[in-house]
Amino acid sequence: MKFSSLRLTFLPALIISLCALSHAQSGSAAGGAQGQQRRQAYLKFIEAQRLKEEAQRLRSAKVLDDAIAAYKETIRLDPASAEPHVDLGELYFFYQTRRDLAEQEAQEAIRIDSNSVGGHLLLARLLVSALKMENNPRSLNLDRTIRQYEKVVELDSRQTEPWALLAELYQLKNDTERRVFALEKWAGSPIPGDASFYRWMTNNELASEQAWFLLSDIYLGRGKYQQAVDAARRAYEANPESDEYARNLVSILMSASGAIDELKIYRQLIKSLNSPGLMIGYGSALIRYGRYKEAVEQLRDYVKADPSNPGATGMLAVALRRTGQRQQAIDVLKSGLSRSDLNTRVDLMVALAETYEEMGRDEEAIGQYEQGFENILAKGPLTPVNTPLFNEVVTRLVRVCRRAGNQARLQSILTRTRRVIDEHNSLLDSIAIESLRQEGKRREALDLAQGAIRRNPDDRSLQLTESLILTEMKRYSESIDLLNHLIDGKPETAAEDSAVYLLLSNVQIQSGDAKAAEVSAKKAIELNPDDPESGIQLSAVYHAQRRYDESEKILKDLIRRDPQHATALNNYGYFLLERGVRFDEAFGMIEKAVSFEPVNGSFLDTLGWAHFKLGRLEKARETLEKAMYYSRRNPAIHEHLGDVLRDLGRINEARRLWEKALEYSFETEEIARIKVKLKGIR
């Protein structure tokens, strides 16, 4: 490995002296002897540098010893020069791992010349490498290392390596302001001649695009969207072959979409620079903005050019599904599957199965999910990487088998799953618990959940499920106590705590404590502001408190940032329906939500209720019956369909549906309302 001190490789003092001597008469014999000694020092220094390069090239220990001897002789001949000490220290550090001797030479160079850039840089490198070996960010050496690198850039601000490593060191100190300053300096520094030391220290390249890449994330976190986009764009444009930079640019553009013209930037980029990641990002953006026809055109052209790209194939299928062209989406996915390799096939299989579900072709959906199941297991034992996907495929497969009434295939898949998962995977417990909940057997579901928790006490998902069941049983105080116990309160678990506060808010609103529900929802947002679900919950709390403007504002902001957020669209439309205002606007949003998730029973329920509010009773009945197919124990769907049948004059059927709604419901207000309806028809 080659290392350099990033400075002039000649002795400035010697050069100046030699120039002066070549233009002046020797004043004395002593002056002549001094000049001769300096000439000898200069020549010996040149020889030492030659030997250093040769030792590096040949990896020869003998030549290295000769180089060290030559530097020592140079120092003897000219003890007032700092540079030979720096070079000698580098040899000790980089080639002999003699940190003690290297530090002595660095300190001597700085003693001779307090402004020796090479001396301070060598000392900084020694310190930062020691810090790396300590692996202790609170080490006292951290501050000392920072001071040394700061001294280097004070003496020569054009250096690249010091700014880059200062950015790393400031991050260890959680000093974001100075980290940003260092990254910006790094981004503007010249291309370094030798980046070996930085590469050895960080396993990264010392290129300016790396600085822009890091800056983009910081700018985004600070809400500086345009700067974030500019930085991500610079990184990508400097190295368009980097998948990492392309993915980062796509992610930044999506996150900043409300503050910038995302589509305009994509159009500019793909004219001159293109990559699979960028093209897929552009297609995704077009879909998010509802520009489905354009998305289909762009992605179809790309898939023709690269039919083996699974990401482009999957995104084209999404665009086709959004436009209702589901059979075309199936054809695209089948074609993509025929060209895909084993490692990318499962995602396309899941997308194909979802499309079959949306078309009501459950048996074909089951077949695709089963193929996904087999594909994962064909790769060998489950790993931490593919277990989440395996669990998702099994969960979906179980859901469709139950809906289709295919018990034989359901039992077969559960038996095979039991053989391949380990004892720490709670998948089968979760499936069994959900089955009992769906059957209304909450006591049995609670017992099973608590037993599973005893076997896997660290499984938070099981504990959250226990809380959910307790809530359904109206044991609110127990549920709240359990959730409060799960809150860790540490910065590193903020996202997990946010999810707990989100569920806690839901329990509190159902128990009638709207004020506490508001506090919990706000805490969830504080801990994880990027999670839209917390905003959805706070909007629901405000709606329950009749703070309609505040509720509406949250949903508007969510939809502005993500026009495809189906839950925000559904809830916004439903809240407007309940208030009896802006029916046409509400209907449009609900229709859009259903187009995004056509097998979501709750969204279909909202759409059916919208038809009812608009007086379209037959359309309402048809839609609500479809909703019930996908959510068979949903009390709201039963209540709404009962209302429709009552208005159609089918009173006995309405009564049976309301009685079922009463059986399934666990919300106090909902139960009271249904009882009034039942009393009114007796």
Show the 3-state SS of 421-460.
CCCCCCHHHHHHHHHHHHCCCHHHHHHHHHHHHHHCCCCH
**pLDDT at 269 > cutoff 60:** yes
Domains of the chain: 1-112 (1.25.40.10), 115-206 (1.25.40.10), 360-421 (no CATH), 568-682 (1.25.40.10)
Amino acid, single-letter form, for residue 213: F
Which residues contact residue 457 at a Cβ distance below 8 angstroms, ignoring those fewer than 6 apart?
Answer: none
Please give the mean pLDDT across all residues of the chain. Answer: 90
pLDDT for the residue 600: 95
**What distance in Å separates the CA atoms of residue 528 and residue 501, rounded to the nearest whole number?**
10
> What DSSP line would sit under 568-609, residue for residue?
HHHHHHHHHHHHT--HHHHHHHHHHHHHH-TT-HHHHHHHHH
Tens of pLDDT, residues 132-157: 887 766 667 899 999 999 999 999 99
DSSP H helices, 491-582, are: 494-510, 514-527, 532-544, 548-561, 566-579
Identify which has the larger pLDDT, 1 or 105. 105
The closest alpha carbon to 236, from 196, 190, 202, 281, belongs to 281
Q: State the pLDDT confidence band at 359, using cuts at 50, 70 and 90.
A: very high
pLDDT for the residue 138: 64
**pLDDT at 669 > cutoff 90:** no
pLDDT for the residue 426: 93
pLDDT for the residue 23: 42
pLDDT for the residue 389: 95
**Is residue 152 within 8 Å of 162, Cβ to Cβ?**
yes
Average pLDDT over residues 149-178: 94
pLDDT for the residue 561: 82
**What distance in Å separates the CA atoms of residue 296 and residue 286, rounded to the nearest whole number?**
9
Q: Which residue has the tokens 């959004």?
A: 322
pLDDT for the residue 30: 54
**pLDDT at 11 > cutoff 60:** no
**pLDDT at 110 > cutoff 90:** yes
**What distance in Å separates the CA atoms of residue 113 and residue 110, rounded to the nearest whole number?**
5
Average pLDDT over residues 185-198: 88
Element (H, E) at 115: none
pLDDT for the residue 1: 45
Average pLDDT over residues 552-578: 93
**What distance in Å separates the CA atoms of residue 192 and residue 186, rounded to the nearest whole number?**
10
Across 12-81, the runs of DSSP E, i.e. the strands, are none
CA of 62: how far to CAs of 52, 56, 66, 160, 220, in Å? 11, 11, 6, 33, 54
Tens of pLDDT, residues 19-35: 433 444 444 555 567 77
**What distance in Å separates the CA atoms of residue 517 and residue 537, rounded to the nearest whole number?**
9
**pLDDT at 659 > cutoff 90:** yes
- Of all residues in the chain, the percent with pLDDT exceeding 70 is 94
pLDDT for the residue 136: 66
Average pLDDT over residues 665-673: 85
Tens of pLDDT, residues 422-443: 988 999 999 999 999 988 899 9
pLDDT for the residue 7: 38
pLDDT for the residue 667: 78
Tens of pLDDT, residues 363-406: 999 999 999 999 999 989 999 999 999 999 999 999 999 999 99
Q: Fill in the DSSP letter of residue 380.
A: -
pLDDT for the residue 273: 76
Q: Which residue has the tokens 């070549």?
A: 22
**pLDDT at 489 > cutoff 80:** yes
pLDDT for the residue 151: 96
pLDDT for the residue 17: 41
**pLDDT at 85 > cutoff 80:** yes
